[in-house]
Structure 1
């Protein structure tokens, strides 16, 4: 019954994903900047200032990222047609290499169809169309964000006062907010570090549009498990077209070294067990929420899973074994 209800709910959310996605994004952003509101409240700032400052911080960050993506994507669409000659040369080299290694022309032609310049241009147009969708959704995000920012002080007091009636639910929601905030702050800091290092590496290697790929690396940092691959593929392909195989290999090496050092060695020491999800649960949540909300679901997979865990598992005193199962830590 529970699984059937979950399927119905997920498909229902999927049908209204254009609304549910921006609402969840606004909620996560409000949670991320809540320390600013708490800091202002502790210094007895007026309510309007407690609302306005966090709201403006989020809006400025969103507008800055959308602006960079829009300008860079426009430049990318204008840049790709100039690589037609490089495409043809790479295809000729691939055909010569395949012929030397006994690969039939039929197999080769089928494989080379994926590298058609017109298809790459089509991908650029899809990217621009997606950005237009982001711009239209941004208005809804800002409106919902403003409403949630206005309600945040009251909501915090209501949750605190409700601890006597539903203590476990209040505690679970507080834990969700704390874990989400820590995850977002730490991931953002290390995402910025990754982005800056990637931009520097791409600039040194003369790969076009390094700022675009830096922003992509920052956004992909929030996507568990496959974010690194998503951030790596576009600059790698452009490096191949612009500078050849050597530049492509150098980009892969630079990205891999930066990712291993920051994400594998340093990040776990700061993030620790803040997420509280096993590797399997993290990957499953990525698949599920991407199916439900699309690309935005991939970015919000961890916060959405933490919210689901708080409401359905952490708030239930009889669900201790499930809590241990999804967190990978046996009950002590």
Structure 2
């Protein structure tokens, strides 16, 4: 048997290199296309996530004899009411922030001046002490808060599109099993993998959404009891950012701790910080893994890359949904033996592939 010469080896390796390059180029083109039409894709993306989260309750109602149309109407009404209450709470918090922002900024500026004088009294050279921090003016903060409040009112117009898409996706959910059977009539293993993937997605998003809702509710109630201003706003922020591991919890805690420090004092700020740490530790490190049944974590590098990519493509909503989107991709990779290696590389721990 003739042994191939060394000059032939690069030629044999070229197709693999070109496949990777073409695959990377295709990913870049797809992401750029999604960014160009993000204003169209984002409402349907939100509707898809809502439909996935509501699929288990929909199946539960139908198994107990509730007619399909009535169960869809119940979920549609519940989600619509939730959207209305959420936007109403956010608008009220933003308007309250618009009126109280100058007071908090003046208090923060006074603290910074006292700190500068204290450091100056210790003998530090004047040229090493900044005369002030580049904080936005009180008028700029007020205008920003007012624009946020008005923007929330305008955003409710696109909510109708999200709810309509959500309703139609729920109607499609009932025929999904039949479509899988029709699409893969002779490929039982492919149908099993598709169903396993869908169950994993349903379970992950349902548990993660429940954990995020519990986080936001506990944080909002706790801050209200402590007496921190804008407690509803910080509770909603904590619930939304709970989808982002570690980084989201830090970002959510910072403004609430700062407002507690400025408005109430050091003791209350420490209590708020301890409360955030306790809530995120119990829910994120104890309850979520227990209900998930196994680790579904992502590598910290993958989390950072996901935030950057999906934030660039879909903006702030993409950053909030970045981890669920990446987790769905990871579950899809785990469902196939050919791509399971990629799912393992995205994980936050070393685990053996399934046999």
TM-score range, shorter chain: 0.7 to 0.9
Q: Bigger shift: 16-25 or 239-248?
A: 239-248
Of 142, 163, 168, the match for 1:147: 168
Deviation at 1:229, TM superposition (A): 1.7
Pair 1:93–1:326, CA change in 2 (3 A): same
Are residues 1:266 and 2:318 paired? no
- Taking the aligned partners of 2:271 and 2:64, their CA distance within structure 1 comes to 50
Of 195, 210, 216, the match for 1:189: 210
Q: Could you tell me whether the CA contact under 8 Å between 2:95 and 2:146 is conserved in 1?
A: no
Pair 1:254–1:168, CA change in 2 (3 A): same
Are residues 1:4 and 2:21 paired? no
SS in structure 2 opposite 1:223? coil
Are residues 1:324 and 2:344 paired? yes
For normalisation by structure 2, the TM-score amounts to 0.81
For structure 1, the residue ranges without an aligned partner over 5 or more in a row are none
Alignment correspondent of 1:228: 249
- Taking the aligned partners of 1:275 and 1:126, their CA distance within structure 2 comes to 38
Q: Could you tell me whether the CA contact under 8 Å between 2:237 and 2:252 is conserved in 1?
A: yes
The count of corresponding residues between Structure 1 and Structure 2 is: 330
For normalisation by structure 1, the TM-score amounts to 0.86
SS in structure 1 opposite 2:130? helix
For structure 2, the residue ranges without an aligned partner over 5 or more in a row are 1-21
Q: Could you tell me whether the CA contact under 8 Å between 2:193 and 2:336 is conserved in 1?
A: no
What is the root-mean-square deviation in Å for CA atoms of aligned residues? 2.8
Structure with higher Rg: it is: 2
Deviation at 1:30, TM superposition (A): 0.6
Deviation at 1:141, TM superposition (A): 0.8
Q: Could you tell me whether the CA contact under 8 Å between 1:173 and 1:307 is conserved in 2?
A: no
- Taking the aligned partners of 1:104 and 1:134, their CA distance within structure 2 comes to 49
Alignment correspondent of 1:94: 115
Deviation at 1:29, TM superposition (A): 0.8
Of 317, 322, 343, the match for 1:296: 317
Pair 1:20–1:107, CA change in 2 (3 A): farther
- Taking the aligned partners of 2:190 and 2:149, their CA distance within structure 1 comes to 42
Q: Could you tell me whether the CA contact under 8 Å between 2:243 and 2:324 is conserved in 1?
A: no
Deviation at 1:106, TM superposition (A): 6.6
Q: What stretches of structure 1 move > 6 A for 4+ residues in a row?
A: none
- Taking the aligned partners of 2:30 and 2:224, their CA distance within structure 1 comes to 46
Deviation at 1:197, TM superposition (A): 3.0
Are residues 1:108 and 2:134 paired? no
Q: Could you tell me whether the CA contact under 8 Å between 1:14 and 1:292 is conserved in 2?
A: yes
Q: Bigger shift: 249-258 or 112-121?
A: 112-121
Deviation at 1:233, TM superposition (A): 1.9
Deviation at 1:315, TM superposition (A): 6.3
Say which structure, 1 or 2, has more relative contact order (CA 8 Å, 6+ apart).
1
Q: Bigger shift: 50-59 or 96-105?
A: 96-105
- Taking the aligned partners of 1:4 and 1:166, their CA distance within structure 2 comes to 31
Any residues of structure 2 matched to 1:113-192 within 5 Å, and which?
113-114=134-135, 116-125=137-146, 127-128=148-149, 130-132=151-153, 134-164=155-185, 170-192=191-213
Pair 1:324–1:198, CA change in 2 (3 A): closer
CA offsets 1:19-66 (integer angstroms, 9 cap, x no match): 212111111111111122212332343331232122222222222222
Structure in which a larger fraction of residues adopt helix: 1
- Taking the aligned partners of 2:295 and 2:84, their CA distance within structure 1 comes to 29
Q: Could you tell me whether the CA contact under 8 Å between 1:179 and 1:274 is conserved in 2?
A: no
